[in-house]
Amino acid sequence: MEVKGEIYRVAGPVVTAIGLDAKMYDLCKVGNEELMGEVIQIVGGKTIIQVYEETGGVRPGEPCVTTGMSLAVELGPGLLSSIYDGVQRPLHVLLEKTGGFIGRGVTADGLDHEKLWEFKPIVKKGDHVAGGDVIGVVQETVNIEHKIMVPPDISGTVADIKSGNFTVVDTVCTLTDGTELQMMQRWPVRRPRPVKKKLTPTRPLVTGQRILDGLFPVAKGGTAAIPGPFGSGKTVTQQQLSKWSDTEIVVYIGCGERGNEMADVLWEFPELEDPQTGRPLMERTILVANTSNMPVAAREASVYTGMTLAEYYRDMGYDVSLMADSTSRWAEAMREISSRLEEMPGEEGYPAYLSARLAEFYERAGVAETLSGMEGSITAIGAVSPPGGDFSEPVTQNTLRIVKVFWALDAKLSQRRHFPAINWLNSYSLYKEGLNDWFTENVAPDFVPMRERAMDMLQTESELQEIVQLVGSDALPEEQQLLLEICRMIREIFLQQNAFHPIDTYSPFEKQYKIMSSIMKWGDAAMDALKSGIPSSEIIKMESKDELPKVKFEEDFDGSLNAVLAKMDKEFAALGGK
Same domain, 388 and 480: no
- The alpha carbon dihedral of 181, 185, 186, 192 has a sign of positive
Same domain, 410 and 549: no
- The alpha carbon dihedral of 43, 46, 47, 51 has a sign of negative
**Has residue 84 been placed in a domain?**
no
Same domain, 406 and 347: yes
Same domain, 406 and 315: yes
Of the three residues 136, 152, 183, the one that is the final residue of a domain is: 183
**Three-class DSSP category at 323:** strand
Residue 23's CB is within 10 A of a number of other CB atoms, namely 12
CA 564 to chain centre: 38
Mean pLDDT along residues 115-130: 95
**Has residue 112 been placed in a domain?**
no
Which amino acid belongs to residue 251? Answer: V
**Domain count of the fold of the chain:** 4
134 dihedral zone (left: phi>0; alpha: psi -120 to 50; beta)? beta
In order of 212, 246, 453, 481, the CA distances from 440 in angstroms are 17, 19, 15, 32
**Has residue 441 been placed in a domain?**
no
When mean pLDDT is compared across 128-132, 303-307, 412-416, 473-477, the lowest value belongs to 473-477
Of the three residues 403, 429, 455, the one that is the final residue of a domain is: 429
CATH number at residue 173: 2.40.50.100
When mean pLDDT is compared across 179-183, 256-260, 284-288, 554-558, the lowest value belongs to 256-260
Task: Give the integer Cα–Cα distance in Å for 17 and 20.
Answer: 7
When mean pLDDT is compared across 10-24, 86-100, 129-143, the lowest value belongs to 86-100
When mean pLDDT is compared across 107-121, 253-267, 378-392, the lowest value belongs to 253-267
Comparing CA positions, the residue from 518, 502, 497, 508 lying closest to residue 560 is 518
> What pLDDT digit, counting tens, does each position of 458-490 carry?
999 999 988 888 888 888 899 999 999 999 999
Report whether 458 contacts 425 (CB < 8 A): yes
Q: What is the pLDDT of residue 577?
A: 55
Report whether 38 contacts 50 (CB < 8 A): yes
Same domain, 264 and 225: yes
Mean pLDDT along residues 248-254: 92
Pairing relation of β-strands 72-75 and 185-188?
antiparallel
Q: How confident is the model at residue 254 (pLDDT cuts 50, 70, 90)?
A: confident
In which domain, by residue range, is 166 found? 117-183
Same domain, 255 and 346: yes
Q: How confident is the model at residue 336 (pLDDT cuts 50, 70, 90)?
A: confident
Task: Give the integer Cα–Cα distance in Å for 363 and 195.
Answer: 13
Same domain, 404 and 336: yes
In order of 90, 268, 283, 321, 351, the CA distances from 306 in angstroms are 13, 20, 17, 11, 22
> What pLDDT digit, counting tens, does each position of 41-66 carry?
999 899 999 998 888 899 999 999 99
Of the three residues 183, 208, 224, the one that is the final residue of a domain is: 183
pLDDT exceeds cutoff 70 at 568:
yes
In order of 239, 320, 350, 387, the CA distances from 411 in angstroms are 19, 30, 25, 12
Task: Give the integer Cα–Cα distance in Å for 300 and 50.
Answer: 10
Report percent pLDDT > 90 for the chain. Answer: 71
Task: Give the integer Cα–Cα distance in Å for 51 and 395.
Answer: 24
As a whole number of Å, the end-to-end CA separation of the chain is 92
pLDDT exceeds cutoff 90 at 356:
yes
In this structure, what DSSP letter does residue 348 have?
A: G
> What pLDDT digit, counting tens, does each position of 216-250 carry?
999 999 999 999 888 888 888 988 898 889 999 99
Q: What is the pTM of this model?
A: 0.92
Task: Give the integer Cα–Cα distance in Å for 193 and 307.
Answer: 10
3-state secondary structure 269-318: HHHCECCCCCCEHHHHEEEEEECCCCCHHHHHHHHHHHHHHHHHHHCCCC
pLDDT exceeds cutoff 60 at 1:
no
Cα dihedral 546, 547, 550, 556 in deg (nearest 10):
-170
DSSP H/E element including 41: strand 35-43
Report whether 543 contacts 571 (CB < 8 A): yes
Comparing CA positions, the residue from 247, 429, 208, 226 lying closest to residue 325 is 226
pLDDT exceeds cutoff 90 at 123:
yes
pLDDT exceeds cutoff 60 at 578:
no
Same domain, 453 and 368: no
Q: What is the pLDDT of residue 54?
A: 86
Give bridge partners of residue 197 from the DSSP assignment.
369
Q: What is the pLDDT of residue 2?
A: 63
Q: What is the pLDDT of residue 291?
A: 78
Same domain, 167 and 217: no
Cα dihedral 253, 259, 261, 264 in deg (nearest 10):
90
Q: What is the pLDDT of residue 567?
A: 95
Mean pLDDT along residues 89-96: 85
**Has residue 79 been placed in a domain?**
no
User: In residues, how long is the chain?
Assistant: 578
Query: Average model confidence (pLDDT) for the chain?
Result: 91
**Has residue 108 been placed in a domain?**
no
